[in-house]
Amino acid sequence: MKRLAVYCGSASPEDPRYVALAREVGATLAGQGIGVVYGGGRLGLMGAVASGALEAGGEVIGVIPEALTSRDGRGGEVANHDCTELHVVADMHERKAAFTRLSDGFVVLPGGVGTMDELWEAVSWAQLGYHSKPVGVLNAFGFYDGLLEFNRHMAAVGFVRPAHRGIILAETELDLLLARMRAHEPIVPIVSMDPNTL
């Protein structure tokens, strides 16, 4: 794995563990020679991941839609120009397609609605054969306990095929998650879509 897309929140929760976790993830990936592909912002967990990786000498590629480059609610700059590369794209679809093209897998940290959108799209695209890359969830502090239980419920009811129940790789420790992602075996997709159409 040369590069991983890191999905996480653009907010900074009051609990300082979340920002500290994001910085640690960035630094750990850089220390293992894994580049970070992320949302291109300087705020919240996203900014902390980028800072952690950059301070550790890692590669950081930001991908941000034009509309979000200067929308922090106070007229300030959101885009992180300290990145190794910063790609400004037209919209969110282009952003997620770029994440998929530029990375060898996905790591999901705590986040909100946008992070959920990115996670489920990565899972959906794996089911449809747009990619065969590992989708890892870092379930730090039990943040994703409910989501993982709901995923099991969808599978139990029959909305997730047996062959796709293992798409989400979840661990509470980053090293364990990365080990599982390295050992990832692609699933058999529903169809084989052309990733060049993304």
Q: What is the DSSP string of 32-80?
A: TT-EEEE--BSSHHHHHHHHHHHHTT--EEEEEEGGGTT-SSSS---B-
Closest-CA residue to 28 (of 84, 107, 98): 107
* Dist CA 35 CA 103 (whole Å): 9
Q: Which residues, 6 or more positions from 139, have their beta carbon under 8 angstroms from its beta carbon?
A: 145, 148, 170, 171, 172
Segment 3-32 shows an average pLDDT of 97
pLDDT of residue 165: 94
* pLDDT tens digit sequence for 100-147: 999 999 999 999 999 999 999 999 999 999 999 999 999 999 999 999
* Cα diameter, the chain: 48
pLDDT of residue 77: 57
The 10 Å Cβ neighbour count of residue 117 is: 14
* Dist CA 167 CA 131 (whole Å): 12
Closest-CA residue to 15 (of 161, 140, 144, 133): 140
pLDDT at 12 over 60: yes
pLDDT of residue 194: 67
Q: What is the Cα 93 distance to its own chain's centre? A: 15
pLDDT at 190 over 70: yes
State the residue for tokens 């950081």: 60
Which domains, ranges and CATH numbers included, belong to the chain?
3-184 (3.40.50.450)
* Dist CA 9 CA 151 (whole Å): 20
pLDDT at 197 over 70: no
pLDDT of residue 69: 82
